[in-house]
Amino acid sequence: MSFNRREFLKTLTTSTVIVPLTACAAPSGGKSGGSSGKARIVVVGGGFGGATAAKYLKMMDAGLDVTLVERNKTFVSCPLSNEVISGHGKYEDLQAGYDGLMKRGVNVMFDDAVAVDAAGKSVKLKSGKTLKYDFLVLSPGIDFNYGGVAGYTEALANTTHPHAYKAGPQTLALKKQLEGMQDGQTFVISVPPGPFRCPPGPYERASQVASYFKHHGKGKCKVLIADANDSFSKKGLFEQAWKMHYPGMIEWVAGAAGGKVVKFDAKTNTASSDFNDFKGDVVNIIPPHHAGKIAMDTGLANDKGWCTVDMLTMESTKHKDIYVVGDSTVHGELPVYGAPKSAHMANTQAKVAVGAIIAKINGVAAPEPFFVNTCYSIAEKDWGFSVVHIYRAKDGKLIYDTKAGGISPVTMADESLLKLQRKLESEYCIGWFKNIMADAFA
């Protein structure tokens, strides 16, 4: 490909550049980059968003000084954790360590970021250390608003009533409760008002729970979904799967039909809306979410509890040089086409943020962003489906491309083709998972 001068310049100014910065870069505005002259970037939160950001910063410019602050030495993935609850997947497969990032030269600190001084550009850690930064990438994920369901508490979540909506010990606790159920009993899932992380998550969980019942001689068990919302992600695909694989086993109660759970009585195992009581043998309350606490404390969230960002760079609209990626952001204005809170979205947002940060360090315009999301759900063995989203920049805004993306076909011309489609996507789901884990952590 040959460039004329105009195209060449255009390419440079619209693209992410890869230059060794060690020798020549003063961070933006000529601020002190430390004695070595390197730009210092602190990443808070080592999930899909933060790990991807840390890795790609080093991959695209090995000279950057990148520190990742993460509480846990082992990451546990939410994607595919529903399959662990049902026994179709292994807990070990959800795990990743941070050795891969360390090998890439990321300084990984197992610590808790407790406060951000946005004006002074530093992060305070629980251990007492303070990290100065030129750029901060915040990827704190979500925290729960336990007050959203009166009577449900963090203490209950950690003991008798796991929400299991952050994968980890609670995933295994819920699995154990499921395995302890007798035939004919009821598993209640309460779904919080949107937005919540992994929009199809509660419905995939219902499917996986039903799958466990079906394959363990507990076919008279029921799953009841008490939903604060009136519709849900991939609804047609899930309802088709339920009818086909679990007829009569899964009941969904919409918000408008009194499905919004507002209180919980742990003694009687009853979740209640203003109109209905849902008594279960296992009651899985998923509490409402908001942006991770540190993002809230830093003043990055709007009045609904989500961080607003420049849609094209992921830079916070509240504080300069802070980039927020992943589940804690609200990305896109339209309620229907706003970016979903998924691992893939966090991964793609992290890459955009990295491109924008490196461009800023080099004093050039941020590259044109491109966001892609693929989100698979497995409803039953060999029965997977997905939703795809493509977002592009147009006139400074994030636009969901309605000509692309969308959900897997619900009906197809031929039964054999439908079966093939579901089989392929159930397998692609696992392949996607292995690759995205490697893309973030290896």
Partner 1 sequence: MRSSLMIAMAALGFASHPAYAGPTEDLARTCNACHGVNGVSVGPSMPSIGGLPEAYLKNLMLQWKSDERYSATMGRHFKGYTEAELSALATYFAKMPWVPVVQKADDKTLAQGKAASDRCETCHGATGGTPDDAETPKLNGQWADYMHLEMMKYRTEAAKMPHKKMRGNAKKLEEADVEAVAKYYAAQPK
Q: Which residues bind partner 1 (CB under 8 A)?
A: 9, 11-19, 24-25, 56, 59, 344, 347-348, 351, 355, 362-364, 367-368, 370-372, 374, 386, 388, 390, 392, 401, 403-406, 408, 412-414, 416-417, 420-421, 423-425, 427-428, 430-436, 438-439, 442
Tell me the closest approach of the beta carbon of residue 299 to partner 1, in angstroms: 31
Torsion angle defined by CA atoms of residues 100, 102, 108 and 110, in that order, rounded to the nearest 10 degrees: 60
Tell me the closest approach of the beta carbon of residue 409 to partner 1, in angstroms: 9
- Read off the tokens for 188: 């209640």
How many alpha carbons lie under 13 Å from residue 103 in its C-beta half-sphere? 6
Nearer to partner 1, 81 or 386 (CB): 386
Tell me the closest approach of the beta carbon of residue 272 to partner 1, in angstroms: 40
Tell me the closest approach of the beta carbon of residue 367 to partner 1, in angstroms: 5
105-120 as b/e: b if 16+ CB within 10 A: bbbbbebebeebebee
Contact (Cβ atoms closer than 8 angstroms) between residue 185 and residue 281: yes
Q: What radius of gyration, in Å, describes the C-alpha atoms of the chain?
A: 23
Nearer to partner 1, 114 or 407 (CB): 407
Helix (H, G, I), strand (E, B) or coil at 291: strand
Nearer to partner 1, 295 or 358 (CB): 358
How far apart are the C-alpha atoms of 189 and 284, rounded to whole Å? 5
Tell me the closest approach of the beta carbon of residue 351 to partner 1, in angstroms: 5
Nearer to partner 1, 176 or 434 (CB): 434
Q: Could you tell me which residues are beta bridge partners of residue 315?
A: 323
How many alpha carbons lie under 13 Å from residue 391 in its C-beta half-sphere? 26
Positive or negative, the Cα torsion across 188, 78, 133, 319?
negative
Contact (Cβ atoms closer than 8 angstroms) between residue 326 and residue 350: yes
How far apart are the C-alpha atoms of 423 and 410, rounded to whole Å? 14
Tell me the closest approach of the beta carbon of residue 363 to partner 1, in angstroms: 7
Nearer to partner 1, 278 or 432 (CB): 432
Tell me the closest approach of the beta carbon of residue 412 to partner 1, in angstroms: 8
Measured in degrees and rounded to the nearest 5, phi and psi for residue 40 equal -100, 125
